[in-house]
């Protein structure tokens, strides 16, 4: 009996342990029966059923950090374009000009060097003449001029005789004077063609022979841009004509040069051209642009920090080459370009800083299709997420993500369809769309920051007690 008294409690404990272990093992089966009618947590249920938020709250400080700006949507017209590579080039016959030696001589003085700004009439070089023909022409001019003076004096004496001299004698003297005048005119023209100015020629006729010839800057052609010419003239008091820049020297001091040899190259980048290179299959598009007289947009890729004003020029294709380069299989087309400059005075020296320079790479955008009634935004205003595209509308501090349909995107612009998903006049963020999209996905800014409260219009304000 004593043994049975100790066995019964042990058996009861073993049964209870077995039931407990069995209940734990089968809890996944019977536990839901007890929770089936349990009332759900309203907060948890609302969190589970709520869709992900499409809004994010951005404080004013954060907006400044991101550089956020918003502008109202406006339906407009956008031109679809093709991009063609190009570069700024000299306009042949107007940009560069060579200066040659008018006669054989030795360079005894170099007046200006590469980079210097020179004006028409400035002395570039001084040549010591070695040409025997030029020395002979000077001697003949002086002799003929003196012979004319003597012949005219003789005619005066004959005319004073009042009929004592036969008329044939007077006619002979007149013919002599005429022959000498023709010879003088020929000598003057020869010296003029050799680079002698009228002042030097007048001096030679009086006996002041020239052994050193100054080579001066030639005048610009009359078709030079009058606006740019006036601007350059205003930089230096008393200057006449547009300025040149000494681009390259072809001779050295003490070097002997022959008549017609290049001495230097002068440049004036006032009239340039934009040259594009297109492939054969793009010919119909360019021909249509020429036929329809559509303007062409040129992206010079300028740095805004340079401070140049907005470019006020309309570009059109003026020339299309009719031959294709056999090396790169492209053909050239050209657009005229009027350059702009800044003239800087430094210790009496004028330096011309041109806005566009030959060799500068550009992008040429040729119109091919017109898109009407669309929204045009900067590329940073649209966030991409797989096939979806989003913009962010602004209501004070609240930014809401809106899906949109992108029709076209290039390096600078995104064209969005005006299909009703966005309402004209709605303020849309112009930048940092990718950052705002990451904030929406991460839930950053979806709640009200501590110490702030949000109004019904979406504006975020600091609590009054927080500022005390």
CATH fold match for the domains 55-77+370-467 and 82-92+268-369: no
Going by pLDDT thresholds of 50, 70 and 90, the confidence category of residue 43 is very low
pLDDT at 34 over 70: no
Pick the residue with more confidence: 419 or 352?
Answer: 419
C-alpha distances out from residue 254 to 106, 126, 250, Å: 6, 10, 13
Residue written as tokens 């992108």? 406
| Tokens representing residue 160 in the block | 């004073």
The answer to whether residues 389 and 382 touch, using CB atoms and an 8 Å cutoff, is: yes
* CA 272-349-237 angle, 5° bins: 85
Going by pLDDT thresholds of 50, 70 and 90, the confidence category of residue 459 is low
C-alpha distances out from residue 226 to 57, 271, 313, 444, Å: 57, 11, 16, 60
Gap between the Cα atoms of 113 and 246, Å rounded: 6
* Fold that domain 82-92+268-369 belongs to in CATH: Elongation Factor Tu (Ef-tu); domain 3 (2.40.30)
H or E element: which one contains 399? Answer: strand 398-404
Residue written as tokens 């349990």? 38
The answer to whether residues 151 and 180 touch, using CB atoms and an 8 Å cutoff, is: yes
| Tokens representing residue 148 in the block | 């004319």
pLDDT at 45 over 50: no
* CA 46-47-49 angle, 5° bins: 65
Mind listing the pLDDT tens digit for each residue in 97-111? 899 998 889 999 999
Residue 161's SS3 state is coil
H or E element: which one contains 147? Answer: helix 132-160
Torsion of Cα atoms, 189 then 194 then 195 then 200, to 10° = -60
H or E element: which one contains 12? Answer: helix 2-25
* pLDDT more than 70, % of the chain: 78
pTM exceeds 0.85: no
Residue 365's SS3 state is strand
Other CB atoms within 10 A of residue 445 CB = 21
Mind listing the pLDDT tens digit for each residue in 134-180? 888 889 988 999 998 898 888 888 777 766 667 778 888 888 889 99
The full DSSP string for 260-309 is: T-EEEEEE-TTEEEEEEEEEGGGHHHHHHHHHHT--BEEE----GGG-PP
The full DSSP string for 64-75 is: HHHT--EEE---
In sequence order, what are the beta bridge partners of 409?
Answer: 414
Gap between the Cα atoms of 91 and 358, Å rounded: 10
Domain 55-77+370-467, CATH among 3.40.50.150, 2.40.420.20, 3.10.450.50, 3.40.50.620:
2.40.420.20
Summarize the confidence of residues 253-262 as an average pLDDT.
Answer: 91
C-alpha distances out from residue 211 to 60, 127, 132, 217, 414, Å: 80, 8, 11, 20, 70
Other CB atoms within 10 A of residue 280 CB = 10
In sequence order, what are the beta bridge partners of 57?
Answer: 398
pLDDT at 457 over 90: no
In sequence order, what are the beta bridge partners of 422?
Answer: none
Winning range, highest mean pLDDT, from 15-19, 41-45, 349-353: 349-353
In sequence order, what are the beta bridge partners of 257?
Answer: 105
Residue 240's SS3 state is coil
Among 114-118, 293-297, 378-382, 400-404, whose mean pLDDT is lowest? Answer: 114-118
The answer to whether residues 440 and 56 touch, using CB atoms and an 8 Å cutoff, is: yes
Domain boundaries, the chain: 55-77+370-467, 82-92+268-369, 96-267
The values of phi and psi at residue 99, to 5°, are -115, 125
Residue 29's SS3 state is helix
Mind listing the pLDDT tens digit for each residue in 118-134? 888 899 999 998 888 88
pLDDT at 449 over 80: no
Gap between the Cα atoms of 141 and 146, Å rounded: 9
Gap between the Cα atoms of 23 and 31, Å rounded: 9
The answer to whether residues 219 and 231 touch, using CB atoms and an 8 Å cutoff, is: no
Other CB atoms within 10 A of residue 180 CB = 20
pLDDT at 364 over 50: yes
Mind listing the pLDDT tens digit for each residue in 47-69? 444 345 788 888 888 888 988 99
Pick the residue with more confidence: 383 or 224?
Answer: 383
Spell out the residues 6+ positions from residue 65 whose beta carbon is closer than 8 angstroms to its own.
none
pLDDT at 174: 86
Q: State the angle between helix axes of 2-25 and 27-35 in degrees (0 to 180), rounded to the nearest 10.
A: 70
Phi/psi-derived region of residue 67, left when phi > 0, alpha when psi is between -120 and 50, beta in every other case: left
Mind listing the pLDDT tens digit for each residue in 388-414? 999 999 988 889 999 999 999 888 899
Distance of CA 257 to the CA centre of its chain: 41
Summarize the confidence of residues 308-321 as an average pLDDT.
Answer: 91
Other CB atoms within 10 A of residue 371 CB = 15
pLDDT at 373: 93
Residue 51's SS3 state is coil
Which of these, 313, 307, 233, lies nearest to 268 by C-alpha position? 233
Mind listing the pLDDT tens digit for each residue in 200-251? 888 888 888 888 888 989 886 655 554 444 444 444 444 444 688 899 999 9
pLDDT at 401: 93
């Amino acid at each position: 009996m004593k043994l049975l008294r100790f066995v019964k409690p042990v058996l009861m404990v073993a049964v209870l342990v077995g039931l407990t272990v069995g209940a734990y093992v089968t809890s996944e089966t019977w536990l839901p029966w007890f929770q089936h009618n349990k009332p759900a947590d309203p907060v948890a249920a609302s969190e589970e059923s709520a869709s992900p938020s499409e809004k994010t709250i951005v404080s004013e400080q954060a907006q400044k950090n991101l550089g956020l700006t918003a502008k109202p949507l406006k339906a407009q017209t956008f031109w679809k374009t093709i991009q063609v590579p190009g570069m700024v080039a000299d306009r042949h016959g107007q940009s560069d000009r060579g200066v040659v030696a008018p006669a054989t001589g030795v360079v005894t003085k170099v007046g200006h060097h590469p980079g210097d700004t020179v004006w028409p009439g400035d002395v570039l070089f001084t040549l010591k003449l070695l040409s025997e023909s030029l020395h002979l022409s000077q001697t003949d001019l002086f002799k003929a001029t003196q012979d004319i003076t003597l012949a005219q004096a003789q005619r005066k004496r004959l005319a004073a005789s009042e009929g004592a001299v036969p008329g044939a004698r007077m006619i002979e003297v007149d013919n002599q004077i005429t022959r000498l005048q023709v010879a003088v005119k020929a000598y003057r023209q020869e010296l003029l063609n050799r680079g002698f100015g009228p002042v030097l020629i007048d001096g030679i006729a009086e006996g002041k022979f020239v052994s050193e010839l100054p080579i001066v800057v030639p005048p610009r052609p009359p078709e030079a841009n009058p606006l740019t010419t006036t601007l350059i003239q205003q930089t230096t008091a008393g200057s006449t004509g547009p300025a040149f820049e000494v681009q390259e020297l072809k001779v050295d001091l003490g070097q002997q040069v022959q008549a017609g040899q290049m001495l230097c190259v002068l440049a004036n980048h006032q009239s340039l051209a934009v040259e594009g290179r297109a492939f054969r299959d793009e010919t119909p598009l360019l021909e249509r642009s020429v036929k329809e007289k559509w303007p062409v947009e040129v992206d010079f890729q300028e740095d805004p920090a340079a401070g140049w004003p907005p470019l006020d020029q309309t570009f059109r294709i003026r020339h299309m080459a009719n031959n294709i380069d056999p090396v790169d299989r492209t053909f050239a087309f050209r657009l005229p370009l009027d350059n702009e400059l800044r003239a800087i005075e430094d210790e009496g020296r004028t330096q011309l800083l041109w806005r566009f320079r030959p060799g500068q790479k550009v992008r040429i955008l040729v119109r091919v299709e017109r898109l009407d009634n669309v929204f045009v935004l900067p590329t940073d205003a649209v966030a991409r997420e797989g096939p979806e595209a989003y913009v962010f509308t602004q209501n004070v501090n609240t930014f809401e993500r809106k899906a949109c349909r992108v029709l076209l995107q290039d390096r600078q612009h995104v064209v969005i369809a005006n299909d009703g998903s966005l309402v004209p006049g709605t303020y849309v963020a112009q930048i940092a769309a990718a950052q705002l999209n990451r904030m929406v996905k991460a839930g950053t800014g979806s709640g009200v920051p501590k110490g702030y409260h949000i109004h019904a219009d979406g504006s975020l304000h600091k609590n009054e007690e927080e500022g005390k």
